[in-house]
């Protein structure tokens, strides 16, 4: 089975203010690195626009209406201090959701072995009723619910290795034992959540990392907390919130990972998907703001996915 890649030019048209770290050049850097001959076997698919009704799997209707109403006809508007929208932002976020849901279809219907979705804006900070942290809607949460509703997945695991805690995903699934949420992240750091003591209905597993730590501490967190939790949960699907801002080059944090760490973590989750999930694994781009660190890390991640 092949590795499938979803992306779309519309993701470049979600415009942020000059100097904003979550910028279109992130996708351009990924496109360039994946144009290398080493990735010629990638099954490249133009991302489809999603069904607005699926947003309601994770967010209430009045919140969806507020976000839609905030999209400007011209220029850039601030949703909060960090989060903005431009005229094509609605189409971009709907296409990100469409790609994530299509990826879920692909792995359940055996059209792909695994899938990487290179989309923006990211999603894991979007809480049930709050857009924040560069995120409008929580793409990973919507995809998890989509898997449950369309494919009768009983248990979905979301593993988030973005350097910032996915407060939004934790908020949405706080009291839902059918979804396991595991996160490695720097602490203290934005958004200020993610302590080990935050366990929800026993389905939230946080593994905070101290600033200026690196590979050894990250891998230990995976081996001691994340992977045993996945084994105990035995998910039908694994979704990765794949942020690459824990890379040592990233300007927004102080965790000193290398692309080899993302390669290793990808392999560990592929192994668990093989054990428990019929190899079903979907990876969704979250953060990563140094263009070189992002490109090298994505190359390592996708290269590992392609090894099956």
Q: Catalytic: which of 8, 59, 125, 276?
A: 125
User: Any residues with CB less than 8 A from the CB of 263 and at least 6 apart, and which?
Assistant: 300, 301, 303, 304
Phi-psi region for residue 77, left (φ > 0), alpha (ψ -120 to 50) or beta?
beta
Query: Cα–Cα distance between 181 and 160 in angstroms, integer?
Result: 8
Q: In sequence order, what are the beta bridge partners of 157?
A: 180, 238
- To the nearest 10 degrees (0 to 180), the angle between helices 89-108 and 139-151 is 40
Query: Cα–Cα distance between 1 and 32 in angstroms, integer?
Result: 24
Task: Give the helix, strand, coil percentages of the chain, each rounded to 5.
Answer: 40, 20, 40
- Give the number of residues written for the chain: 308
Q: In sequence order, what are the beta bridge partners of 285?
A: 242
User: Any residues with CB less than 8 A from the CB of 163 and at least 6 apart, and which?
Assistant: 185, 186, 189, 243, 245, 246, 250, 252, 253, 255, 287
Query: Would residue 14 show up in a list of annotated catalytic residues for this protein?
Result: no
Q: Which of 17, 3, 28, 38 is nearest to 292 (CA)?
A: 28
Catalytic center residues: 125
């Amino acid at each position: 089975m092949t590795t499938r890649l979803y992306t779309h030019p519309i993701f470049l048209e979600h415009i942020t203010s000059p100097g904003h770290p979550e910028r279109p050049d992130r996708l351009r850097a990924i496109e360039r690195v994946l144009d290398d001959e080493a990735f010629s076997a990638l099954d490249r698919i133009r991302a489809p626009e999603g069904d607005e009704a699926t947003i309601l799997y994770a967010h209430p209707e009045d919140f969806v209406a507020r976000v839609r109403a905030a999209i400007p006809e011209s220029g850039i508007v601030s949703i909060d201090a960090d989060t903005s929208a431009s005229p094509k932002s609605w189409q971009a976020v709907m296409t990100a959701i469409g790609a994530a849901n299509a990826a879920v279809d692909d792995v359940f219907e055996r059209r792909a072995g695994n899938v990487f979705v290179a989309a923006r804006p990211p999603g894991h900070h979007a809480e049930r009723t709050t857009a924040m942290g560069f995120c409008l809607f929580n793409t990973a949460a919507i995809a998890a619910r989509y898997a449950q509703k369309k494919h009768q997945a009983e248990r979905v695991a979301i593993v988030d290795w973005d350097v910032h805690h996915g407060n939004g995903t934790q908020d949405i699934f706080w009291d839902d034992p059918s979804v396991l949420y595991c996160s490695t992240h720097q602490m203290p750091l934005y958004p200020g959540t993610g302590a080990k003591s935050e366990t929800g209905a026993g389905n939230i597993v946080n593994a905070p990392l101290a600033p200026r730590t690196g590979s050894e501490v990250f891998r230990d967190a995976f081996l001691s907390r994340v992977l045993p939790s996945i084994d105990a949960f035995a998910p039908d699907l694994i979704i990765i919130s794949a942020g690459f801002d824990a890379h040592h080059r990233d300007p927004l944090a102080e965790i000193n990972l290398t692309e080899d760490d993302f390669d290793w973590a990808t392999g560990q989750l592929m192994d668990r998907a093989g054990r428990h999930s019929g190899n079903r694994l979907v990876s969704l781009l979250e953060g990563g703001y140094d263009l070189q660190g992002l490109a090298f890390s994505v190359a390592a991640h996708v290269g590992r996915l392609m090894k099956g």
